[in-house]
A and B are shown apart, each in its own frame.
Chain A
Amino acid sequence: MRSSSSRRSFLVGLAGAGALAALGFPRRASGAPVGSAAELGFTEIPDGALAEQYLFALPGKLPLIKKTFRPPNFETPVEYFRTPITPNKAFFVRYHLAGIPQSIKADDWSLSVAGDSVERPLRLTLQQLKKEFKAAQVTAVNQCSGNRRGLFEPHVAGVEWGVGAMGNAVWRGVRLKDVLAKAGVRSNALEVVLDGADQGAIDKTPDFVKSIPVDVAMRDETLIAFEMNGAPLPHWNGFPARLIVPGWTGTYWVKHLVSVKVMSTPEKNFWMSTAYRLPRGLFKTPTFTSQLYAPNEPITAMVVNSLVTSPRSGQQVPRSKTIPVRGVAWDGGSGIDRVEVSTDLGGSWQRAKLGKDLGQYSFREFALDLPAREPGALIVMARATSNSGETQVNQLIFNPAGYHHNVIQRLYVEVV
């Protein structure tokens, strides 16, 4: 039997010192600080971020991991990913700008539908939206583009998210394409531009406005949602209505949606032209062709990923018991083909059992019980592969803004 120290030396030789540091071992799970990434077998988030974050409950929410107060950025603790649907009260909160309406009355809200590629501009109340259009729903992961940014090595500036800037919910509302059809979309339509009720604290700050390609806007599953898991959207998740773009990262899921414009020209405000961009061709994700006026390209669909929610790195497991490996996997919309687990640093992989299929845009649960026969240290890894054949990566694909982190977790477990 290989001793734990020689296994560690082997690991250093194979994967480098960074991976070793990522393990943060051996440490008891209960002693880890709130939102520790090392506890999940990743590079730790920046020390200043770890020291400044703690659990705090926004009105109407459960205690979540406070990243920043204003604008509010709150992460979902890993415990809430042990079910495939993330509870509304535990769902992460992400705002760019501090000018957030303190409350919005559903009766006062209306949605403007306009733009140079629209034939008949409309204004719809929430009642009209609910009554005049057919209801539609989708189960879909909403994940911030920068989820896991804090795990980047070297660290990059931004909200230093751990693993919880994401959640999975059943979104119910109406199809964006039905609303656009009522307004009449001209054949020269290029992008659909979305604006929410939030704004900067000062006038000079660029308003958070996003656009999506018109073909994505016309998909059956792209919704204007007003319900989440059977209840009205929580205020902090976009009450009374938000856009749902299944498969695409959260930046496009505009909250407190007040304006939809169909345009014949590309939207070039800061949030499209400069922010949320990646070096061109770095990821094999769909191309947003009307936004290729700069050397880089906008982020689009999510990359395949998984999160092991059990065990925790540093956990001790009694010999002769099993190590229950549990988690969720998701991708940008092709669905999950398989999740495999390795205990020999990727030398061999065994398939985990997949949970119920809740749809191609949803979290997919996985489970595998590993035998814990002999005392010693184990590195547990899990990797998801999508139906489109994409697999999680061993090494971070670095990009300056810290997007698309889907590095395979390495959890250190001690059998005692």
Chain B
Amino acid sequence: MRLAMAMISLAAASCAWAQESKVLLKDAPGKDKVMQCMACHSLDYIQMNSHFLDKAGWTASVNKMINVFGAPIPKEDVDAIATYLAENYGKPPAK
């Protein structure tokens, strides 16, 4: 939480990036954990990569952020984040 608040104030401090506060994610369970993504990037990366990844695809993305880019996200949050992303920004179920 402290991290998210710090990131929000950092983002607001930069005039060029202040606009990113207009990027809003859907309200659903797990959103609070997804806000941790703002430590490194604006949240529009999520909408931009929708709706074509399934839960496995989103899990791979989140793990890449942690393992390759060093995102400070606890391992125990990965499933909640991937579930939120798959349900709200994932590939629609096959008809």
Q: Say if the beta carbon of B42 comes within 8 Å of chain A.
A: yes
Give the contacting residue for B19; candidates A69, A200, A203, A206; CB below 8 A.
A69
- Interface extent on B, as a size class? 20 to 34
Q: Say if the beta carbon of A15 comes within 8 Å of chain B.
A: no
Whether the Cβ atoms of A69 and B40 lie closer than 8 Å is no
| Set of chain B residues within 8 Å of A66, measured between Cβ atoms | 19, 44
| Set of chain B residues within 8 Å of A72, measured between Cβ atoms | 16-17
| Set of chain A residues within 8 Å of B23, measured between Cβ atoms | 52, 69
| Set of chain A residues within 8 Å of B20, measured between Cβ atoms | 69-70
**Minimum C-beta distance from A71 to chain B (A):** 7
**Minimum C-beta distance from B53 to chain A (A):** 6
Q: Mark A57-89, 1 if CB is under 8 A from B, else 0.
A: 011000000111111100000000000000000
Whether the Cβ atoms of B70 and A200 lie closer than 8 Å is yes
| Set of chain B residues within 8 Å of A157, measured between Cβ atoms | 49, 53, 57, 61
Within 8 A of B (CB), among A12-62: 46-49, 51-53, 56, 58-59
Which chain A residue lies CB-closest to B89? A48
| Set of chain A residues within 8 Å of B15, measured between Cβ atoms | 59
Q: Say if the beta carbon of A198 comes within 8 Å of chain B.
A: no
| Interface majority SS (helix, strand, loop, mixed), chain A | loop
Q: How many Å lie between the Cα of A366 and that of B89 in the bound state?
A: 40
Within 8 A of A (CB), among B1-55: 11, 14-17, 19-20, 23, 39-42, 44-53
**Minimum C-beta distance from A204 to chain B (A):** 2
Q: Say if the beta carbon of A397 comes within 8 Å of chain B.
A: no
Give the contacting residue for B17; candidates A70, A204, A270; CB below 8 A.
A70
Q: How many Å lie between the Cα of A48 and that of B85 in the bound state?
A: 12
13 contacts between A and B (CB under 8 A): A46-B49, A52-B47, A53-B48, A69-B17, A69-B42, A72-B16, A102-B16, A155-B52, A157-B49, A159-B48, A160-B48, A202-B39, A202-B71
A interface with B by C-beta (< 8 Å): 46-49, 51-53, 56, 58-59, 66-72, 98, 102, 154-155, 157-160, 200-206, 270, 274
